[in-house]
């Protein structure tokens, strides 16, 4: 049996998870939450991670009922993500690996999401929609790579939602996206917003600029409610994502869709994707907030796959990078 511990901290979540041969033994997590109207700064986020990471590590080992001697490999998020939080987590992972005398493994954050989704849902060879605060990509596996068929050309869909939440002062607890989703359920009027699909790619910056400028005018004049704006924004951006995912499915001849990443928890996105899949006779796979949102177990699972196929990161190569594309990693464990 191979036991891998994974450290994740690329954004405002700090998580440590332990996987043993496909079984999640523990997966504790903490979130850095800022006041309404504010985002999270890299330095403040790193400070939060430093303050809680050892507590989370202790929790992970206790919940799994394991000792350091039982761990076979230490995996950490190499990138992409925010520099300061990534460095904080990598530093602890490196230290732990040396103290425990275990091999170290740098994991691509995006591949962590994909491998966790595949493990939990048992999807075979899906077209993957990866949607989060920092990434928006449509991905399919071919010849030892996760190929990117389409992506955002500017900001990620989660970033668009988060920044809109700041404009109308929606709470960041538990997350802006979750609160937008709840408000959108009460919206009844659709406000037309720019719809920007460019071939296989999408753009969210224009929608954000439009709604940032229009929101306060429309709300103060009574043209619509905050709930109507949340509803309209969700419907527009999710329709764009469904469109490019369907196009990638048609290209690949795929009959499966897997939604991963923090925005993948959104039940309205899952519902819209489900309608498209039903029309195509395809199957939709998604997970809940335990595994969609950044967590340590996803890094452990990707690390487990990589470690068993022969990957190890030498100490001198255990740096981090804010830019680390999904298709840069050779996927040696799938064939």
113 marked as binding residue: yes
Which pLDDT value is given to residue 335? 80
202 marked as binding residue: no
- How many CB atoms lie under 10 A from the CB of residue 54? 12
181 marked as binding residue: yes
Architecture of domain 124-286: 2-Layer Sandwich (3.30)
190 marked as binding residue: no
As a whole number of angstroms, the distance between CA 37 and CA 127 comes to: 35
- Percent of the chain clearing pLDDT 90 (strictly above): 100
CATH 3.30.70.1450 fits 3-114+293-317, yes or no: no
Give yes or no for a contact between 45 and 11, defined as CB atoms under 8 angstroms apart.
yes
Tell me the pTM. 0.97
158 marked as binding residue: no
70 marked as binding residue: no
3-state secondary structure 54-103: HHHHHHHHHHHCCCHHHCCEEEEEEECCCHHHHHHHHHHHHHHHHHHCCC
132 marked as binding residue: yes
Of 199, 209, 132, nearest in space to 163 by CA: 209
178 marked as binding residue: no
49 marked as binding residue: no
295 marked as binding residue: no
pLDDT in tens, 76-134: 999 999 999 999 999 999 999 999 999 999 999 999 999 999 999 999 999 999 999 99
39 marked as binding residue: no
32 marked as binding residue: no
**ω into 305 cis (within 30 of 0):** no
Give yes or no for a contact between 183 and 227, defined as CB atoms under 8 angstroms apart.
yes
Q: In the structure, what pLDDT confidence band is assigned to residue 281 with cuts at 50, 70 and 90?
A: very high
Q: In the structure, what pLDDT confidence band is assigned to residue 273 with cuts at 50, 70 and 90?
A: very high
Residue spans per domain, the chain: 3-114+293-317, 124-286
Average pLDDT over residues 223-246: 98
CA dihedral 35, 287, 300, 172 (to 10 degrees): 0
Establish whether domains 3-114+293-317 and 124-286 are of one fold: yes
């Amino acid at each position: 049996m191979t036991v891998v511990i994974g450290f994740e901290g690329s954004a405002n979540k700090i998580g440590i998870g332990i996987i043993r041969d496909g079984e999640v033994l523990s997966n504790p997590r903490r979130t850095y939450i800022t006041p309404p109207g504010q985002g999270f700064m890299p330095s403040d986020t790193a400070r939060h991670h430093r303050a809680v990471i050892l507590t989370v590590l202790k929790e992970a080992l206790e919940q799994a009922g394991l000792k350091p001697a039982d761990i076979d490999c230490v995996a950490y998020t190499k990138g992409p993500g925010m520099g300061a939080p990534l460095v904080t987590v990598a530093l602890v992972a490196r230290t732990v690996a040396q103290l425990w005398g275990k091999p170290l493994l740098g994991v691509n954050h995006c591949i962590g999401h994909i491998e966790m989704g595949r493990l939990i849902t048992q999807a075979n060879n899906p077209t993957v929609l990866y949607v989060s605060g920092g990434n928006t990509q449509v991905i399919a596996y071919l010849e030892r790579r996760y190929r990117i068929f389409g992506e955002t050309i500017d900001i990620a869909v989660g970033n668009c939602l988060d920044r809109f939440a700041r404009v109308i002062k929606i709470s960041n607890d538990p997350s802006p996206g979750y609160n937008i989703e709840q408000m959108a359920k009460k919206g009844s009027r659709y406000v037309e917003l720019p719809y920007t699909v460019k071939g296989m790619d999408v753009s969210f910056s224009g929608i954000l600029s439009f709604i940032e400028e229009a929101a306060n005018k429309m709300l103060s004049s009574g043209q619509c409610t905050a709930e109507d704006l949340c509803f309209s924004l969700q419907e527009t951006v999710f329709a764009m994502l469904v469109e490019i995912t369907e196009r990638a499915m048609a290209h690949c001849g795929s009959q499966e869709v897997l939604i991963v990443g923090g925005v993948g928890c959104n039940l309205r996105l899952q519902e819209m994707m489900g309608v498209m899949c039903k029309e195509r006779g395809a199957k939709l796979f998604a997970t809940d907030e335990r595994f969609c949102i950044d967590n340590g177990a996803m890094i452990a699972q990707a690390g487990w796959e990589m470690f068993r196929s022969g990957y190890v990161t030498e100490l001198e190569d255990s740096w981090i990078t804010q830019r680390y594309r999904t298709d840069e990693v050779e996927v040696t464990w799938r064939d």
